[in-house]
Chain A
């Protein structure tokens, strides 16, 4: 894809929301600039926001909990939103969800409520986008670059990241989609070494 002009290229600082449409056939790359940064990501069918990324449908359809090259990101209505076509990280999570001020109170301490969290950024992004999107449209997301293994005994663990500076994941849009990212601000979890960092997002037009 390196020979093709980028249609879009931006840096998303840690703690910031990002929202953008991707046209069917375009390629969408997220780059983990400094390593082990979680890019919490939601997708919607751009023409039917009821039809949105489904973590459960995605893992069930491929019978595997990890997202990587070849994974079709499935919607709630059973449609392929995007396909992962390149992945230098190797594994991405979709079971760990997005941090929230409320879940931080449960996981860490009730006094942590004031700390910035992904679902604040998701709300800011979709409320700014408008078009009727609201809280109930925020379903379970992808955590690009996060490593959340499950054991055969049914335990869920947060392991050190498998990502590193410059690792990226690239997707091809199978339909027109709306993408929303919260570049995770979490300061309570060692998975990002307590140091949230920027990510880069790029969109390319397809090669004829």
Chain B
């Protein structure tokens, strides 16, 4: 086993997981079978009023997708995580979470009573339950990222889900630049046209990472990110 590896975990289909990623560790998410979707929300564990901010992330980097070299900004001008590696090329920051009503309308009712742990779950309600374990609630819900999913925007603004974006074995790697509470959920993407309820599992790998260097790819990808790293470093001085 890799000496930098701290632990591995399996996130089951439709399941939710949370963890405090310590500054100086990374999380690799691997799409085992392909076509997974991983909803993700991020908070500063030491002050959860500071959380991932979608518009600040998009406009600082002039992006509407996420991939290697991009960073995830908090609303306080700091970097929660960097995307240090990516075998997919496009992760969706725009579309938000599935909710109970949408899941019921799309896939039909499937209660725990009959289906046990294959019951139909939704991302929004699952995030709320996991947030509550950390003393957080609906007022704290951050805009999720949908890793492994691709939604393109056409000239008229129309949003289109692109099926087959993630192949079996694809991965994305996030490096924690702060102590980050991350909550993950494997419910299907809310715009996935697949009419069958079939969320996919992903493998999680937590590793120690070396300190960020002055020639770090994410830091140098644009001047905004260099300033974001500087502001994040000051937070720990």
Interface residues of A (CB under 8 A from B): 49-51, 54-57, 59-60, 63-66, 76-78, 91, 95-98, 100, 102-103, 105-107, 109-110, 119, 135-137, 139-140, 148-152, 154-158
Contact = CB atoms under 8 A, between A and B. Distances in A.
B77 A100 contact: yes
Interface in B120-176: 137-141, 143-144, 152-160
Interface of B: 49, 53-56, 58-60, 62-65, 73, 75-78, 90, 94-97, 99, 101-102, 137-141, 143-144, 152-160, 190-191, 224, 227-228, 230-231
A127 B191 CA distance: 36
Given A66-B157, A97-B53, A56 B96 contact: yes
Nearest to B66: A154
Contacts of B53: 97, 103, 140
Contacts of A109: 227
A103 B73 contact: yes
A56 B227 contact: no
Contacts of A55: 54-55, 143
A141 B82 CA distance: 25
A137 B51 CA distance: 12
A5 to B, nearest CB: 36
A196 to B, nearest CB: 18
Nearest to A68: B157
Contact of B137 (A50, A57, A102): A50
A122 to B, nearest CB: 11
A50 B141 CA distance: 10
A-B pairs, top 3 by smallest CB distance, nearest first, are A97-B55, A56-B96, A102-B77
15 contacts: A51-B138, A54-B96, A55-B55, A97-B59, A103-B73, A105-B77, A105-B231, A106-B231, A110-B227, A110-B230, A119-B75, A136-B140, A139-B143, A140-B54, A140-B143
